[in-house]
Structure 1
Amino acid sequence: MPSSRTLITLFSLVGLAALGGYAWHVNRTPAPGQPVAAQVKTAGAGGGGGGGAGQAAPVVVETQAVSVRVLDDDVSAVGSLVSNESVVLRPEVSGRIEAIHFRDGEPVRRGEVLVELDAAVQRAELQQARANLTLAEADFSRTQDLFGRKFVSRSSLDDARAKLEVARAGVALAQARLARMQIRAPFDGVVGIRSVSPGDFVKDGDVLINLEDIATLKLDFRLPELYLDRVRSGQTLELSSDVLPGERFAATVEAIDPLVDAEGRAVRLRASLPNPDMRLRPGVFVRVRLILAERGEVAMVPEAALVPAPGDVQFVYRVADGKVQRVNVRTGQRRDAMVEIVDGLQPGMVVVTAGQLKLRDGAEVKVAAAGMAPRAD
């Protein structure tokens, strides 16, 4: 007679078999009112079958056509502005300042008296020299008359003539000494800030005032020696300064130093630029862009279109017939977020500028509409 454990095991197996059969019957039998074909279609949809998995949706991207523009072949540098003419005025003789005829920072004209020293002694010397000249002229006139009447010798006439020349030289000397007591502007310009006052005693060589001609400015800058054969007088350059942000000024190369700096391996250049409004000042730091040549018909694409790859390689995705093609490119100069394409693309071709992360060679793409940006994920 079988044991109770054996009977329990037997009943369990029979129950499991009955449940399996019932489940198979329920899944096989269509629900009331639903055709078998519909049931099969529903099961296929719910199972995540591979019927539609092989067709990926097009990737939304932004594109832009390869443009053509004129590109300047240039080089950048930094420099400083200097005055067209600059001088520090100093007295040639010692003396006491009698008068100052200018205001700090104001324009002055060439020949205008700026500082006048006490010249009482020099004026007296000039007066004395003129008196001597008057006497010498009268003496020479009498001697000449007497010589014509044979009352004096030739040597007396020559002596009177020599005294007349000495008197004239004495007047010229006194006038020169008097003139040195006045400090005049050697050119048109703007005076600086003085550090002397009327009544001060100054020695010869003491600093009185600086004078700057800033109606035209000069620009000194340096370039590496490898550009020596590409720079010449008359070339145009563009400069900017933090003093006047956002503004550009044009200058012209005037001179190239014949000596190349042996330590820095650089050549010094000087340019000039008009400064009629005097908005720029000497000593200002500027950034320089020297235009070496102009090139036309240069293919340009946005920098965002470039995709870096291992091995110092760059490529872009070109769009054609709704699909992308990977194209390796060789780049040149960059300007205003655009990059020159030296090789690999032709003007008019369309490249992807956004959405490259989800692309692969040959993928289908959809160009984003205006105001619709491609998703990054």
Structure 2
Amino acid sequence: MKKAFIIVIIVLLIVFGGIFGFKIFVNEKISEAMAHMPKPVMTVSATAAKTELWHPRLQAIASLAAVQGVEITPQIAGNVTAIHFHSGHHVQAGTVLVQIDDSNQLAQLASDEAQLRLAQINLHRTHELIATKAASQSQLDSAVATYQSSVATLKNIRATLNKLAIRAPFSGYLGIRQVNIGQYLTPGTKIVDLQSWDPLHANFTLPQSKLRDIHVGTRVQVETNARPGQIFDGKVTALGASVNSATRQIAVQATIANPQGVLRPGLFGEITVIRNIEEKVLTVPVSALSYNTFGNYVYVVKKVTQDGKTVEVAHQQVIKSGKERNGQVNIVSGLKAGDMVVTAGQVKLVDGSLVKISNEKDA
């Protein structure tokens, strides 16, 4: 029994040893074959890093405000007898918006006009009597005073009537109506908003250290998430007279063109101040950048000689990037003008990959 057990063990050792030995042999042959196989060539898109002229920019958060905006309110109390506008419509300056009951004033107007006519007749008659010395100078003075008083009284009642017909003080867009026919209004009661939309003011602040970089006439651009993808141009039109002693910020006001009326007072957005100087910067497309825990990098394509042939090889290059603009990113360090960087297809690359540059869309 002991001898048979030993024989079985020996047979098993021979069998398993053969199996393991065969696997080792096969792996060695595969490794040898792989070592002699040519490296795969990856097709990528690439472009050269280039030098551009950029205007240095300052950025801040701006609030839009109407150049002219007001809440329409009555100056004299009374009941609303007519409403001549619709919410959201555009009105011209001088358009009557609301009529407040003026029946008493109209009656008084008729009385005052009659008194003025009488005063005119008496004054004319007195002048005739003075010519014939049938009236005294005091009578003439009294007639003149009565006439002038009647004129002033008539002007007063007409001014009151004008205030009871509430008009748009300037051209603009109306908000939502806040009053109804028959409603009794007191001075200060809100009737409707009136805002002009073109142009608009953009109000923002900048640190005192940027004061030398901005002046009246400096170009600005505004973007807001209310109109994504659109840029609105304007210029700085005013600077604050002093720096805020608490925040050390200076107030700045720009005027923004809004010819299509797509912006509204009260919106906020990002404003970019474009300085009137140019700087040379090195740029590559944003799509060329890759990221890992060690920072940003790009793949730089270089031509090298391997086995007597010229091939293109992609090497990882760590870079320091700056600001982005119009799909380009400023490269602060790590590249030089003319370096070919991969812009598409880098996900299939490793450092040292052989590549073929093809700038077709399906690369």
TM-score by length of 1: 0.72
Q: Alignment partner of 1:88: what SS?
A: strand
Query: Structure 2 counterpart of 1:287, which letter?
Result: E
CA displacement 1:294-327 (0-9 Å, x = unmatched): 52643213464688998x9989867365578998
Query: Structure 2 counterpart of 1:118, which letter?
Result: D
Residue 25 (structure 2) aligns with: none
Matched, 1:295 2:240: no
For the 8 Å contact 2:66–2:265, the answer to whether it is kept is yes
User: Structure 2 CA distance, aligned partners of 1:124 and 1:347?
Assistant: 86
Structure 1: gaps (5+ residues): 1-44, 373-377
CA displacement 1:226-246 (0-9 Å, x = unmatched): 211111122222222222222
Larger deviation, residues 288-297 vs 159-168: 288-297
Larger deviation, residues 266-275 vs 204-213: 266-275
CA displacement 1:144-189 (0-9 Å, x = unmatched): 1111112222222122111111111111111111212110110011
1:108 Cα offset (Å): 1.0
2:78 corresponds, among 90, 95, 98, to 95
1:338 Cα offset (Å): 3.6
Residue 337 (structure 2) aligns with: 347
Query: Structure 2 counterpart of 1:85, which letter?
Result: Q
Structure 2: gaps (5+ residues): 1-27, 306-312
Residue 247 (structure 1) aligns with: 230
**How many percent identity over aligned positions?**
29
Residue 125 (structure 2) aligns with: 142
Query: Structure 2 counterpart of 1:368, which letter?
Result: K
1:223 Cα offset (Å): 2.1
For the 8 Å contact 1:217–1:272, the answer to whether it is kept is yes
For the 8 Å contact 1:315–1:328, the answer to whether it is kept is yes
Larger deviation, residues 271-280 vs 138-147: 271-280
Gap change, CA 1:48 and 1:211, over 3 Å in 2? closer
Aligned residue pairs total 320
Query: Structure 2 counterpart of 1:348, which letter?
Result: G
TM-score by length of 2: 0.75
Gap change, CA 1:351 and 1:320, over 3 Å in 2? farther
Q: Alignment partner of 2:139: what SS?
A: helix
Residue 259 (structure 2) aligns with: 276
1:61 Cα offset (Å): 9.2
User: Structure 2 CA distance, aligned partners of 1:132 and 1:186?
Assistant: 32
For the 8 Å contact 1:80–1:286, the answer to whether it is kept is yes
Residue 268 (structure 2) aligns with: 285
User: Structure 2 CA distance, aligned partners of 1:85 and 1:320?
Assistant: 64
User: Structure 2 CA distance, aligned partners of 1:93 and 1:290?
Assistant: 46
User: Structure 1 CA distance, aligned partners of 2:92 and 2:230?
Assistant: 30
For the 8 Å contact 1:60–1:355, the answer to whether it is kept is no
1:256 corresponds, among 227, 233, 239, to 239
User: Rg: which structure is higher?
Assistant: 1
Residue 116 (structure 2) aligns with: 133
User: Structure 2 CA distance, aligned partners of 1:58 and 1:348?
Assistant: 26
